[in-house]
Amino acid sequence: MSPWAVSSPCTAECASHRLPPVTAAVRARRYVALTTALAHGVATGPRLVRREVLRARARGVIRALGLELETSTTALTRPRRPGEPGSLIVSDHISWLDALALFAVEPATTLAKREVAQWPLFGTLARQAGVRFIDRDRLRTLPGTVAQVTATLRDGRSVVVFPQGTTWCTESGSGFRRAMFQAAIYADAPVRPVTVSYRQRGMPSTVAAFLGDDSFGSSLHRVISARELRVSVMAHPELRPLPDRRRLAVSAHAAIRGTEAPAHV
């Protein structure tokens, strides 16, 4: 089985509203605002790869969806001196919104499953933003992907990956797959664990989760219908690249879950 072919017990039934959905009138306004925000993004064209432009457009889409963004930092990486590698930014994976929230804090090269490229408007924007699409089910493509990530890090650019391999209904999820951590080891790049989580009225919410055979359209409608939905991006201290990718993956996952890595790893 491919390292990317991860199975989650979470299904579309796990995604539910914690609060009553907004009214039809509010949903309609949000759909109009979202269409306008996406159209502006598409019209931006190649300039969307610029960090300040992508950050602004991502925040505009988040506002249009009716979400609030909360973050513990204004940047996910520290300034780099010439010749220093970028950071491998690793996050838990709950929703298609995760990457959008990370873009809204600090845009970086992002890996996404190839199906995203086919999503209406969002796929176009992802391509314009420089997202790199991978086939998680083809083992033979994995070494090439690791090599590309290594080269990007060595070039001083940061890369966002979701090492859980699939989405889960909460930030705890499963352990991290190890392959992309090898790129950090090869490039001698720091690893920045980041927790993305969702709340409604301060309480954990699964409404944004994109799970199982759920369609993008139904997930989008659920998000637009959500009341008082907040997405939080919390960056944790950088991890230096350990020589053992298993230990590095376990330590990063422990940081995201807010637990200590097992002493035996």
Quick one: average pLDDT of 179-194? 94
Distance of alpha carbon 39 from alpha carbon 204, whole angstroms: 31
Question: DSSP secondary-structure letter at 178?
Answer: S
Q: Tens of pLDDT along 132-161?
A: 988 766 767 788 989 999 999 999 999 999
Q: What integer pLDDT is reported at residue 5 of this predicted model?
A: 56
Virtual torsion, Cα 159, 250, 177, 145, nearest 10 deg: 30
pTM for the whole structure: 0.90
> How far is Cα 31 from Cα 25, in angstroms, rounded to an integer?
10
Place 238 in a pLDDT band, splitting at 50, 70 and 90.
Answer: very high
- The confidence band for 23, taking pLDDT boundaries of 50, 70 and 90, is very high
